Amino acid sequence: MTSRRILKAQEAIREVVSMAILTEIRDPRVRDVTVVKVEMTPDMRAAKIMVSVMGDEQREKLTVLGLQNSAGFLQKRIADEIDTRYTPKLTFEIDRGVKNSLEVLRILKEVLPSTSSMAPGASPPPPPVPTDELDEEYEDEVEETEDDEVDSDVENSDDENNDQK
């Protein structure tokens, strides 16, 4: 289990690196990058930074190469912002989580049957109820409830009159 101290350091490093990538790195290869998470070794001497890049695989490779070339600058930014005994050595990797989830979604859409090509014997979904019918039913229920309340009020007043006599 990761200690609380390491979790806090990971979050602080993620914030510093993501802001530095966004505002300070001028390498044209490093664009459209999101720092997803940071994983640190228990001794806090190395950090693996997981990034997500918008674009194709070639763009991802160029971006990681640009980030590796900027690692020294980013380590200096971490050293300036975070007071630790050691500044972690940075490595960058592509996080495939988002792209994997999109691929799974695409496969599920291919595999799962659509409503037009349902299996034989399967019951179709119920047709939508027109809102006009729902409004009429609701109005009828409201009128019945109001009538019941008026009737009960009349009965209660009759009982009170009989009790007073």
Residues 143 and 81 in one domain: no
Six token digits for residue 111: 């595999």
Q: At 133, give phi and psi (nearest 5°).
A: -65, -40
Crossing angle (nearest 10°) for helices 57-69 and 71-81: 60
* Residue 120 counted as domain residue: no
State how far the alpha carbon of 151 is from the alpha carbons of 124, 156, 158, in Å: 44, 9, 11
Secondary structure letter of residue 117 according to DSSP? G
Look up the domain containing 134 and give its range.
130-158
Condensed to tens digits (0 to 9), the pLDDT of residues 49-87 reads 999 998 899 999 999 999 999 999 999 999 999 998 999
* Residue 53 counted as domain residue: yes
Domain count, the chain: 2
* Residue 20 counted as domain residue: yes
Q: Rounded to two decimals, what is the model's pTM?
A: 0.63
